[in-house]
């Protein structure tokens, strides 16, 4: 076999491997943003596409990102470390939710926010029930950076405000309309839902903790790691939108 033929076969092998990897990452051929360059192009086009780290935006916010541990319904660690990101308008709206809760001695507890598309594929592989897990053929609002999973804690001691179920409970008891509950649990759940709705979020019909930001459709599906987002935002440069827009 000549050297030229060997190089040709090697090239074909590498190309085939690349195609297989791409299909595995995006089996439904969705219009995913998978590179920092593509994400930054969207941010340059409209800064509302910017992903914002909630810990940087909301001082003292508490995270309980279960998917950064093995203590979740998959039994596996999905994220390399805990982090919570949202698109800029959703993040700013969440600040206003927190400000409203401050006045009654409560605070948000964030279970999940932006979720890379690769995680959605994994979730569906483990639990293919679209009542509770997003259909990877469509993608999740979490993949768009436009959904957040939250509960409530007391600011005095950081204790959980009781809710109808634990986070990621797959059953009708988690439905926001389920009423066979003690009154205090209904009141706590309804307080969370009312407050989130007041500032532009909608609860989904199967999970009291999951809220979609109104207008989520305008944001692209992302499959970027937390590390990729952090590096891309550093490249984009700092913005002063937080102080200016929160003052309105």
Which tens digits make up the pLDDT trace of 208-223?
999 999 999 999 999 9
**75-112: pLDDT as tens digits:** 999 999 999 999 999 999 999 999 999 999 999 999 99
pLDDT at 142 over 90: yes
Fold of 31-246: Muramoyl-pentapeptide Carboxypeptidase; domain 2 (3.30.1380)
pLDDT of residue 85: 98
Higher pLDDT, 117 or 27: 117
Which helix or strand (DSSP H or E) is residue 87 part of?
strand 85-87
pLDDT of residue 3: 61
Tokens for 36, please give them.
Answer: 């920092």
Tokens for 120, please give them.
Answer: 């959605």
Domain boundaries, the chain: 31-246
Whether the CB-CB separation of 198 and 98 falls below 8 Å is answered with no
pTM above 0.95, yes or no: no
CA-based end-to-end distance of the chain = 72
Alpha helices in the chain (DSSP H): 3-25, 36-45, 54-57, 88-102, 117-126, 183-198, 226-236, 241-246
Task: Average the pLDDT over 9-19 and give the result.
Answer: 39
Whether the CB-CB separation of 207 and 174 falls below 8 Å is answered with yes
């Amino acid at each position: 076999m000549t050297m030229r033929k060997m190089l040709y076969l090697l090239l074909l092998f590498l190309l085939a491997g690349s195609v297989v990897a791409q299909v595995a990452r995006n089996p439904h051929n969705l219009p995913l943003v998978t590179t920092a360059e593509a994400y930054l192009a969207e941010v340059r086009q409209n800064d509302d596409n910017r992903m914002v780290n909630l810990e940087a935006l909301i001082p003292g916010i508490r995270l309980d990102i279960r998917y950064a541990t093995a203590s979740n319904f998959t039994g596996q660690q999905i994220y390399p470390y805990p982090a919570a990101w949202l698109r800029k308008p959703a993040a700013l709206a969440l600040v206003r939710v927190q400000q409203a809760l401050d006045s009654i001695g409560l605070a948000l507890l964030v279970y999940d926010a932006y979720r890379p598309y690769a995680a959605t594929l994994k979730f569906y592989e483990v639990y293919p029930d679209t009542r509770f897990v997003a259909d990877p053929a469509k993608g999740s609002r979490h993949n768009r950076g436009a959904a957040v999973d939250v509960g409530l804690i007391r600011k005095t001691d950081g204790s959980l405000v009781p809710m109808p179920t634990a986070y990621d409970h797959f059953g009708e008891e988690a439905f926001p309309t389920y009423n066979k509950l003690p009154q205090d649990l209904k009141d706590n759940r309804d307080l969370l839902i009312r407050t989130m709705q007041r500032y532009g979020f909608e609860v989904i019909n199967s999970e009291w903790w999951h809220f979609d930001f109104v207008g989520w459709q305008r944001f692209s599906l992302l499959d970027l790691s937390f590390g990729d987002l952090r590096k891309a935002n550093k490249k984009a440069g700092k913005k002063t939108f937080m102080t200016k827009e929160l003052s309105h």
